Structures are given as structure tokens and as C-alpha cells.
Amino acid sequence: MNKQSKSPEKHSIKIRKPNFELEKDLAHDWYDGSAFKTAFENAFSLLFPLGEKSFIESVKYFQKEIKDPKLLDEMSSFYAQESVHRKEHQKYNDLVCKLRDYDMELLNKPQIKRYEWAKTALSPERRLAGTVAAEHLTAILADDLLRNKDHFTNSGTHVAKLWYWHALEETEHKAVAFDVYAAVCGSLKIRRRALLFVTYFIMRDVLRSTVLILKQDGQLWKIRTWVDAVNFLFIKPGILRRAFIPWLQFLRKDFHPWKKDNRDVISEWENSIPMKN
């Protein structure tokens, strides 16, 4: 039998029970005191509960077609990790909306509408391709977060640790959806289109929510807000600028997430995650 998992032989995906105390941090602009950076990260968190649900559903749909015991085990761990991500980000989102009087229904409306549309309008293969593309985006942003020390230098301790934990686990399971897709479909054309589609809608949703949050906070029309935005996204640290080349690599015919073996960052960060006793 051909091996369907292409992850490194001794690589494992761990199930953790993190413990974050977020209330003190989320009550204010926790990210360097910057209204934009805080709003942008909070807006990203809003995507995860429903996003992770759709990822699990799209991968699980094809479970009966997977025969490789290693990949089946990785899929099980993927479901478990993503379920915890849903739970922790829902806590985050509920808390930040409560503390800062944000309208979660308004913020999540486009994502909910698109999720319902995709369930009927897209084939299971295309939904899985969307998951593969989204997992690539989270994986490259996770690697940048874990590898570069210029993100959360002066930021909320517990919120930062939540993002480090999420990034670590996204790195661990970064190839699971990809390997399932390769086993059951593997269309390069669909995969490339999915990256363009997913990138557009993720960035649109995040920026829309960021604008709504900044408006609510009375920070939308301040020059400092948009100076921070340009620096953060494109200059220093320039998270989108730094992600561009890794983003492009997904379009290669021979791409695989583990062609970049970054397990070293997992070892470096995993002991810093606060865990439940």
C-alpha cells in the first residue's frame, strides 16, 4: 500500500489542554498599545470558530477513502486540535466582544453566509481544497510568528501565548488536509484556484472586521492607526510582505507543506504554553 501521509516519519501531532487568562489583556489594546494591531488580531480570532468547524467537516468527509494508518491517526489528531482551537477562540471572541461592546453577529455575518453557501454550492473536493489553502495561509503566518521575535515583544502576555500555542499546533498539523486532498483528488487547478479564493475572502473578512472594530473604538480616522497598519502589514514587521514568497510556493506543482521542515520551532516554543493541571 502506498503511504498517503507525507509528513516526516517521527513527527507527531500532540493534543494539549491550554489554559489562558485573557480578560485583563483583552480589555484594552493589548498589542503594543496599538489600536490597529489589536483590532487586526482580534478580527483574525473571529474567523476561527466557524473556520475550524468547516475544516474538520471537509477533511472528515473523506475519511473512508483513506487507508494509510499514519494519515488516519494524523486526521484524528487534526480533529482534536482544531476542536480545541474552536473552543479557545470562541472564549476569546465572547470575552473581547463583552469587554469592548462589539457586535459579534455583525462581525461574523459574511462568514456565516458564505459557510452556508459553500455547503450547497461547492463539491466536497472544492471545500477540501479550500481547507488546504486556508491551512497553508495559517501555516505560513504561524511559521513567521514562531520564527521571528518582533511580533509580541511588548504585548499582552496571555493573548500572545494563545497565538503562539495556535501557531505551534498549526505547524504540527499543516500537512494533514493537504495529504488527504492529494489522496482523494489532487487537482492542481482546483488547489491553485482555492488559494486565490480563500486568500481574498479571509483578508476581506479580517479587514472588514478590523474597520468595524476601529470604528467602534473611535480609532478609525486617526492618522496613527493607519501608520501602524502600513508598518505592521507591509514594512516592519511587514507580516504580509514576509508571507508573500511562502504564499506563492503553494502554486508550485510539486509543493508540499513539509518541504519546509520547521519542526525546530515546535521544540522551541511548546514548553512556553500554559497548560491545565
The pLDDT tens digits of the residues spanning 92-128 come to 999 999 999 999 999 999 999 999 999 999 999 999 9
Q: Locate the domains of the chain by residue range.
A: 23-272
The pLDDT tens digits of the residues spanning 230-252 come to 999 999 999 999 999 999 999 99
| pLDDT of 222 | 97
Q: Distance of CA 64 to CAs 46, 68, 72, 79, 124, Å?
A: 31, 11, 10, 15, 14
Distance from C-alpha of 107 to C-alpha of 211, rounded to nearest angstrom:
10
With pLDDT > 90 as the criterion, what percentage of the chain qualifies? 90
157: left (phi over 0), alpha (psi -120 to 50) or beta: alpha
With pLDDT > 70 as the criterion, what percentage of the chain qualifies? 98
Answer yes or no: is pLDDT of 68 > 70. Answer: yes
Q: Where are the alpha helices (DSSP H) in 5-123?
A: 23-26, 35-60, 69-100, 104-121
For the ranges 45-54, 59-68, 151-160, the lowest mean pLDDT is seen at 151-160
| pLDDT of 245 | 97
Residues 121-145, mean pLDDT to the nearest whole number = 98
The DSSP letter of residue 64 is: G
Which CATH code is given to the segment(s) 23-272? 1.10.620
In the predicted model, what is the mean pLDDT of the chain? 95
Exposed, middle or buried, 107 (CB in 10 Å: 0-12/13-18/19+)?
buried
| pLDDT of 271 | 85
Say if residues 122 and 140 touch (Cβ distance below 8 Å).
Answer: no
The pLDDT tens digits of the residues spanning 2-23 come to 789 999 998 999 999 999 999 9
